[in-house]
Structures are given as structure tokens and as C-alpha cells.
Structure 1
Amino acid sequence: MKHEMIAKRYVQSLVGVLDSTSLDNTSELFTLLATAFSDDKFIQIMNSNDIATSAKTALILGMVANAQSSDINNLIKLLGENGRLPLIPAIAKELKRQISDIKRVYSGTIYSSSTMDQSSIDGIARDLGNKMGATISLAFAPSATNGVRIVVDGLNVEIDFSKSRLNAQITEHILKAI
């Protein structure tokens, strides 16, 4: 939780300084950097007390050299000076979230036990996006639950249609009507 709060401050500074295109490029770059943090050898290097912080910073600067961005280089140097290089994955995640909020473009997942064709998924995404005032893309994921569940994390939306819940509600409605 603490990492997310600190990462949010860095991202807010980036959002205030960079234009839309630069933000997108920075997000892609930090996403690529974040994947390096899933490699055991890389993590071992970053957590090693035997390797100087300046060498760790130089390693990451070498990874982003192709971007030729003084803003990115300065941010990496700042993270290194403050011992916050391990925040890079949290910064990547927060940067994606902030860009989604700015552009109102979100992605989510449909969980269902039965397969769905892409046109149905796209229709649900379009209708949900119209309701929420955003552009939403949905991906299908098989699930063992007997129903349909839609989750869009960036909007904090979760919709669940299960047969057992629907049957319970119909039964309750019929009993009230009697």
C-alpha cells in the first residue's frame, strides 16, 4: 500500500509535465521495465547490497537509453538517488491507471462457464461503455461459475448474473405476489 501511495506521487508529477503522447510512451516504457522486475536474477541484482545504487541506476538507464528522454532519465536517476528503484512496477501500474482515467478507456474481463462469441462480448462492452460514459474493451475468461460475471477494475465495476441468484429472486418475487 505504501508503494502505491509513493508511486502515485511520481505519476502525478509525470501527468502534470508530459503531454498525452509522451505519457503513452512513458507508460509503455515503464511497463517494459516492470517486466524486468519479474525476473529472479534481475530482482537479485536490485536487492543486492553488494551492488552500488549507482550501478543499479546505470543498469536501468541502459534499459531506457533508446527512448532518449531526459524526463525519463531524470526520473530514473531520482528514483535511484532516493532508493526507490523497486517502485518501477508500481509506477507502471499507476501510470496505466491514470492514463485510463484521463482518456476514459478501460479494459475488463467477462467470466462465464459457457463460451461467448466476440460480437456478443463487443456488444456488452459497447453498451456498458455507453452507460458509464467510457470506452470499454472486454476479454473473455472461462469460469466454473454458473452465470456471467463482468469486472472492469479501472471503473470499480463488477456485474454478476448467476442462475441461482436469479432463481432465488424470482422465487422471492412470486412469494411476495401470493
Structure 2
Amino acid sequence: MEELIAKRYIKAMNASADKASLVNMASVFSVLADSFKNEKFVQIIDNPNVSSNDKSEILLEAVSSADSSQVNNLIKLLVENKRINIIPAIAQELNKDIARSTKTYAGVVYSDTKITIKTMKELSDGLGKRFDSKISLTYVKDDFDGIKVDVEDLGIEINFSKSRIDSLMIEHIVKAI
């Protein structure tokens, strides 16, 4: 539900801002979204005893370094409509929207074995050509028996499991006999 509301705000932001402003807003909202991971911050924001003006002042002070009237107006609007809690969803959806428009995506490679930088670059380049995008991959050591590539924003998940390949080879050999 929050994502749908966030998309409405982003649609309005897209109509009134250029790409550079959107990138700036995305970085501001990403920092604000990180604040929502702090328990004390969330307690203050969710506290009904804290007035809307105080909440607005807290958030506006947090984004004052951005020096953007659009960001300030959006914060005031969110506070006025009691939708402060969708700031993380706005940050996430805004980053996805920028990634779609610039065709730049980030993905993760999971494996139980170390993958070389060269292999990561080849995977990244291959996927980038396939999907006409720029894809940057990061490695995460996992218990997955093989290699799994996940680019969430593109909806791509590719995996090569050693046990599945072994079972397919055995099945093929049995059929050949």
C-alpha cells in the first residue's frame, strides 16, 4: 500500500523536477529512510504527543543541507497528510524510478565459493548487453551451492546449482544408456 502512495508522490515529482533534482531528492530521501532504522527516531515520529509542527521541524532540519524547496514542500505535505512513515517507500521507489530511466541497475551475486573480479565483470557485462542496461554486481558469500545472480529491480534471478547440474547429467547419461 505504501508503495502505491509513494508512486503517486514520485509521479508528481517527475512532472515538476529535472533529472538532477530527482537524483538529489533520491539521495536526501535515502538518508531520511536510513533514519527510520533508528528506533528512537521512529518512536518520536510515531508519538502522537509530538505535534506535527515539531515533526516537521525535525525532518526539515534533517534535510536542510539539501537546500531544496521541493524537498521541503514534500516533507511539509507528508507531515500535513500524516504520511511520514512512507518516506522509506518514497526513497526506494524513487531510486527504482531513477534506475529505470537511466537503465542503471545494481545486483548481487551469491555463492559459496569466491568469485573473481574478472568473472563478476564478465557477468555484469553479459547481463548488461542482454538487457540493454548498465548492471553493477556485488558479491555476497552465501551457502548456495553454485552461483545465483539477482538483479531485483529488473526482475532477474539466474542460478546455477551444482547439485542440479549433477542430477541433470546423471539423468542424461541414464537416458543415453
- Residue 34 of structure 2 corresponds to which residue in structure 1? 35
Listed one character per residue, the Cα deviations across residues 64-106 of structure 1 (whole Å, up to 9, x for unaligned) are 1122211111111110110001111110011001111111110
Q: CA deviation at 1:168?
A: 1.7
1: CA distance, partners of 2:81 / 2:125? 44
After TM superposition, the structure 1 = structure 2 runs for residues 1-178 of structure 1, keeping only pairs within 5 Å, are 2-178=1-177
Moved over 4 A (4+): none
Residue 115 of structure 2 aligns to a residue whose secondary structure is coil
Partner of 1:144, secondary structure, is coil
Question: Deviation per CA, 1:37-80, whole angstroms, max 9, x where unpaired?
Answer: 11111111101111111210111011111222111111111101
Letter in 1 for 2:145: N
**Per-residue Cα deviation, 1:105-152 (whole angstroms, up to 9, x for no partner):** 100111111101112101110111101111000000111121100000
1:129 and 1:168 mapped to 2: Cα distance?
30
Say which SS state the counterpart of residue 49 (structure 1) adopts.
coil
Separation in structure 1 between the aligned mates of residue 122 and residue 97 of structure 2, nearest angstrom: 26
Q: Which whole-Å CA distance do the structure 1 matches of 2:71 and 2:30 have between them?
A: 13
Aligned residues: 177
Using structure 1 for the length normalisation, give the TM-score: 0.95
TM-score (norm 2): 0.96
Relative to structure 2, which stretch is displaced further, 100-109 or 61-70?
61-70
> Equivalent pairs: percent with the same residue?
38
**Structure 2 residue matching 1:43: 3-state secondary structure:** helix
Q: Which amino acid aligns with 2:18?
A: D
Alpha-carbon distance in 1 for matches of 2:143, 2:35: 33
Kindly report the root-mean-square deviation, in angstroms, between the aligned alpha carbons of the 2 structures.
1.1
Read off the aligned partner of 1:41 and give its amino acid letter. K
Partner amino acid for 2:58?
L
Gaps of 5+ in 1: none
Using the TM superposition, give the Cα deviation of residue 17 of structure 1 relative to its aligned residue in structure 2, in angstroms: 1.6
